[in-house]
Amino acid sequence: MTQPEPPNPGVRIVRVPEDRAGQRIDNFLLGQLKGAPRSLVYKLVRSGQVRVNGGRAKAERKLEAGDEVRIPPVRLETPHDAGRSPPKSLLQALDASIVFEDARLLAIDKPSGVASHGGSGVAFGAIEALRALRPRDTLELVHRLDRDTSGLLILAKKRSAMTELQALLREDHGAGVHKRYLALLVGRLPNGTMAVDAPLHVGLRQGGERHVQVSAAGKASLSEFRVLERRGGQSYCEVRIATGRTHQIRVHAQHIGHPVAGDDKYGDPEANRRLREKAGLRRLFLHASSMEFALDGGRTPYLLNAALASDLVEILNKL
């Protein structure tokens, strides 16, 4: 429901409807400003042009039903950009990557190199491509994967499913959702399960690039690494995470001295070079393998899987 036009031409005041209660303001704005890159939304919020009930707000603020959001006029595209759509190759790749679908959820096996969403120099991500493939569906990202990480990415087709699943991801450090990853760590990780309980802080480097580090000032983060196999002096591991922080597995792996193979941001350049020459590894060896949870207050269980990417299977076979 939109209020009468305020004095400043082009500015809109939008009242948050009941079914958007609990949504982050950045995601709410992306729905209001169709086609706007996420980087622009963050810029609008940081600059104070977007206000909630008359006051400034951070991008992660959760909205409540009845909140009034001030949305400034935004020029979203130039004539050169008009009519652009995701490339056919991306559409075909994502159409082939669907591993599960029902009336509420859509799950894909996201290829490495594909961003979860557009922005920060990426014109189209998985969500934009899937919306182009499914124009009649209302698709929303439930969570995100790093661009270089392959594997299970879940989207909601119904607002109620997204709200419930995101609540499970938030509650009690995500205890209601069991997430399993597969990773190749550099070197010989000790046998058994190694729990890494180290707070993570997200900082920004010059140019806006996110860089995460272990810091007492960060948010609580817990990862568990378990060796499945030894391959060529490296450790092929199952990783379970109780929290879903930015770059969590990669930074925790670096923190224990066994970075993820192929990680050009937090990894070991010399080890990466050796693995590239020996086994042809040219990407981050990290794959989101499965997610287990239950909707409808625990009555409807889901166990969704994405098999280890074929290029990573090849790498293991060469080690």
What SS3 state is found at 131?
A: helix
> N- to C-terminal Cα distance for the chain?
59
Query: DSSP assignment of 158-225, as one string?
Result: SHHHHHHHHHHHHGGGGTTSEEEEEEEESS-PPSSEEEEE--EEEEE-TTS-EEEEE-TTSB--EEEE
Distance CA 146, CA 131 (A): 19
Which candidate, 89, 91, 124, 88, places its Cα nearest to that of 108? 91
What SS3 state is found at 5?
A: coil
The encoded tokens of residue 8 equal 């400043």
Fill in the DSSP letter of residue 24.
Answer: B
Distance CA 282, CA 275 (A): 8
Question: Among all chains, which residue has been given the structure tokens 């305020």?
Answer: 6
Catalytic, 146? Answer: yes
Q: Which of 26, 67, 109, 146 is catalytic?
A: 146
Which candidate, 78, 79, 95, places its Cα nearest to that of 131? 95
Catalytic residue ranges:
146
